[in-house]
Structure 1
Amino acid sequence: MPPHNVDRDRSGSSKPGKPPQQPQRSGMFGWLLALVIGALALLAIQAGAPRPQTMTWSEFVARYHDGSVEQGSIEYHAAREEVQAVVREMGRPVRVRVSIQGQTETYIPELKALTGGDYKTVSPSPFWQFIFSPYIVTLVVLLVIWLLLLRGLRSMSAGSGMLGAFGKSRHRILAKASTGVTFKDVAGVEEAKEELVEIVEFLKNPKKFTRLGGRIPRGVLLAGPPGCGKTLLAKAIAGEADVPFFSISGSDFVEMFVGVGASRVRDLFKQAKENAP
């Protein structure tokens, strides 16, 4: 994307316009926050819910005979092939489970004989039991959060939002004839001006030099203390050659994240090639 919008007034000059306003995404982040809170609450409920203690069949029979098993609390869960009941442990009720997987033909008749048929058979649909499993619910919530994050990052990148423009160059561009600076406006650096006149000739008429085997310079490094006229001289070159002028500070390439500076350098040269005469 271009770093800034360029608006033209009636006189033909260019001036940087205001960057487009980004759409509000507070609604999406509100839903995302609600889903995160819901997932954390679900995990907290799962972690805090008491789980039945495991007990062997012989222990369960002994507890039933001594009257520790509460009447009407015995359940046979057909889907999991286990028996659950509430047992009094030191005066407090404790839910226990007895696994009879693979041995239902043996233990179900014994359960009927033991309780006289006073138990409840729980037969939930395996499909709905799978769908509403706590692990599946948590996985679905996390998947929705991930999809919302991915969608938000893509929209930011497409709309040149915070993350989309993070690796873009922050240069400023002045259109042709908008610098208003020529070599006549630069004084005190006559030697540098004489050398740069050749560069302007290269930019204006490159075939004149390439026909004789000359190679167009890839660039010119202007060195000197602050305030000596380096930027003004560069603007004068662009003004004399009637080409766009790009301006960027060296500090814009420095970032705490690895690779961002190199990405901005590549983007700067890409924009310069696209605007080359």
Structure 2
Amino acid sequence: MAEDKKSPKENKGKKPDSKKPKFSPYWIYGSIFLIFIAIQLSGGSNWTQPKKTTQAEFETYLKDGDVEKVEIVNKKVAQVYLTPEALTEEKHVKNKNKGFMAQAGDPTYQFEFGDLQNFENNFQEIKQENNLDTNIVWQTESNIWSEVIIGFLPFIVIIAIWIFIMRRMSGGGGGGAGGQIFNIGKSKAKLFDEKIDVKTSFKDVAGLEGAKEEVQEIVDFLKNPEKYTSLGGKIPKGALLVGPPGTGKTLLARAVAGEAKVPFYSLSGSDFVEMFVGVGASRVRDLFKQAKEKSPAIIFIDEIDAIGRARGKSNFSGSNDERENTLNQLLTEMDGFGTGTNVIVIAATNRADVLDKALMRAGRFDRQIYVDLPDVRERKEIFEVHLRPLKKEEGLDTDFLSKQTPGFSGADIANVCNEAALIAARQEKKAVGKQDFLDAVDRIVGGLEKKNKIITPAEKEAIAFHEAGHATVSWMLEHAAPLVKVTIVPRGQSLGAAWYLPEERLIVRPEQMLDEMCATLGGRAAEKVIFNKISTGALSDLEKVTKQARAMVTIYGLNEKVGNLTYYDSSGQNEYNFSKPYSEKTAELIDKEISNLIETQYQRAIELLENHKDKLTELANVLLDKEVIFKDNLQTIFGKRPFSKEEEEDKKTIAE
């Protein structure tokens, strides 16, 4: 990714990022509330508390006639009030309450006594002996606020827990839209600033020339609308990016965000989905409301199939479907009654076949841009983009790398470059070289090598002949893919692997498919020819040829007995049908023809290997010795391939 350099002025105007929590007035309110509760629960301030004494000292003061009265508070605490004459005495002056909130009639001493009856008996006895007129006053004190707070405390706790759960379910967070329970219907779209948030431009999008041109035109619509509206044209409402995963749909949208000088809202289709009824439609309304207020603007919805699936197809419950309500609101906002603002919607999906027809019609998504897998020229451009940050060896041939990775998407190529850098670093190299990229391709296609896997000699021999059978048959057939490398070192879930570079074809003829099926069955055929036994090692081969044969018969109409028919439904509605689109008799015919195709190619592979059994054995022995062989080893054993073509052709593909 190319990064934009910011000018000093922009950096000066930008506020420094601070990780400190933001100040909130609720902190002050909360602090005051907590202090108030503490004061109330503690029964008042300690500033006005009388001096504590003991019961023995109190009885001494009582005998001396210094006590005017005694207040018994809540049958636990005795507060002592002295006579005016006693207050002037030196021994009591120093104990007089001089607090900030002290008053003239406050008690001077207080103490806690044990048994109330004993205290009262002692008091009466001293009073009679000394002929005193001191009285006992009974008082009950209560803290109203503490009782109220304690009474409401369970309800406060329940409400706090409820608000916490609602916040978590509605997206968490404190201040953002949707983070609070009352903002649950707000849009979760993120507004991007092309100067700060997005640094991707169209220069970072390699290949995809057609798709890039279409998207660039949409950006130009928003920048210079008069250029098109002056001729009577209208700005398109939406563009749908369709293609396999990893081909660069989201990257194109990020480039639009970086290039467009208009507000860019980005979110995923799943952001509309919520457990509450009506939330999805509310978020759609709020999203378009925000975009209209800042129009012209662009809205990007990634993985739109999360809410855009065809209505009424999978709703077996019969109840009101929240997803359908969200889709209905989206349809209305995109092209409903009274819409005329300059808001363009860009969406991306790899499941265009399941989208609702109303969403796909002109006036909503006016343009459907197909983002296909890159060809050899586009792969070279993608490599050049992802090789920029790498420390690579001088003279690294990107043409060679693009030919070794056909069928790879842009995300796969990025993964290859990253994996190559990791492999080079693991080997403590100073730069990433050609072999590192080849090892990275092997790692991604075949999986991680498992050299420590325990394999018996008999199993290793069977694997060697199996892989040698693939190599031998593919070498002898005209339309089979030429071999690049064969290994019997376990990788991933496979015990052995073979790499080929067949041509990239836009159309495939029956003889080409049959040769590929024959080469795929060469492994099991070699086991049959050499050991006269077969094993479970051909599972992936059988799965591949079965799919190919079924496609020839039921999809492409390449079988004479079934005829020029196809049972393929591009609309995807067959997923919801419980019956087959053909009769039982036709089903029997299809099964028979699929079996005939596979068995014919299997016998053909056996015949080829019987004729070259000695060379097959020699190749397997070399493979057992070296564990990895290349095309040069096959040329040494078999001679030049009868149907060889130029190795430098632009269109080649890789397969396992």
TMscore range, shorter length: 0.3 to 0.5
Which one scores higher on RCO, CA 8 angstroms, separation ≥ 6? Answer: 1
Give the structure-2-normalised TM-score: 0.20
Structure-1-length-normalised TM-score: 0.44
